[in-house]
């Protein structure tokens, strides 16, 4: 596998997505399936960030997330030719990451679980956020403080959801997957996705609006 994808996404700026439209991934995958090595390299780099972000959410442990990302990228490199629906590549990638995380989670049975928040903060099991202290110099101090409070409130609200519902909210609301694709990744019916998402939204709203 190309060396460009052997580090975490945060350590390789060239692996960041630039829009991440589904058709971009499909076009790169088709080109890679045709033997275009540059397309394969680009596909792996574009996949790296979303794979790591999702693996953090599902795995909880940073080391497990790193391993799951590497496993997913390795499978992409080895089995790209066998992916029959290029337009559904991201769904395939999320499902591959989820399965790798489940395997890692079984090795850690009995250990305290942790959840990495969607904005880069680490949230412990009791809901206490530990920010990574990444400051945006373009924001004023009051705006930065307010944004931090909002993020922490959202993280605490997300902690109240079950792992399955957190996954659904992430895929649907953050990653923008269709209900059909979320169902494929989660391994449940579309009707179940809609029901879980509706309940999760109500729960999040209730916690965010609580005094």
One-character DSSP codes across 115-131: EE-TTS-EE-TTS-EE-
Residues 6+ apart with CB under 8 A from 178: none
**pLDDT tens digits for 150-178?**
777 777 787 788 888 888 988 898 888 99
- DSSP class of residue 34 equals T
**pLDDT of amino acid 143:** 54
**pLDDT tens digits for 87-140?**
999 999 999 999 888 887 676 655 444 444 444 433 333 333 333 333 444 445
Domains of the chain, each with CATH number or no CATH: 1-113 (1.10.1740.10)
- CB-hemisphere CA count at 13 Å for 146? 5
pLDDT beyond 50 at 77: yes
Q: In degrees to the nearest 10, what's the CA dihedral of 28, 32, 33, 36?
A: 130
**pLDDT of amino acid 34:** 94
**pLDDT of amino acid 108:** 61
**pLDDT of amino acid 133:** 37
**pLDDT of amino acid 144:** 53
pLDDT beyond 50 at 19: no
130: which strand partners?
122
**pLDDT tens digits for 35-62?**
999 999 999 999 998 888 888 888 877 8
Q: What confidence category does residue 65 fall into, taking pLDDT thresholds of 50, 70 and 90?
A: confident
Cβ count within 10 A of residue 41: 19
Q: Read off the pLDDT of each residue in 16-44 and give the average, rounded to a whole number.
A: 81
Contact 91, 54 (CB under 8 A): no
**pLDDT of amino acid 60:** 73
Indicate the range of 4-13, 61-70, 107-116 predicted with least confidence: 4-13
């Amino acid at each position: 596998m190309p060396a460009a994808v052997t580090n975490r996404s945060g350590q390789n700026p060239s692996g960041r997505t630039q829009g991440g439209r589904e058709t971009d991934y499909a076009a790169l995958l088709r080109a890679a399936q045709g033997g275009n090595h540059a397309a394969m390299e680009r596909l792996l780099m574009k996949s790296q960030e979303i794979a790591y972000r999702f693996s953090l959410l599902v795995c909880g442990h940073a080391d497990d997330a790193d391993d799951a990302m590497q496993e997913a990228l390795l499978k992409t490199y080895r089995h790209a030719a066998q992916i029959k629906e290029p337009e559904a590549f991201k769904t395939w990638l999320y499902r591959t990451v989820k399965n790798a995380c489940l395997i890692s989670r079984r090795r850690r049975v009995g250990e305290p679980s942790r959840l990495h928040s969607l904005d880069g903060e680490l949230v412990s099991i009791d809901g206490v956020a530990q920010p990574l202290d990444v400051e945006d110099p373009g924001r004023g101090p009051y705006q930065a403080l307010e944004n931090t409070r909002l993020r922490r409130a959202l993280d605490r609200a997300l902690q109240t959801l079950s792992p399955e519902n957190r996954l659904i909210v992430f895929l649907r609301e953050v990653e923008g997957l269709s209900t059909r694709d979320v169902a494929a990744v989660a391994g449940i019916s579309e009707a179940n996705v809609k029901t879980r998402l509706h309940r999760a939204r109500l729960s999040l709203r209730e916690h965010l609006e609580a005094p």
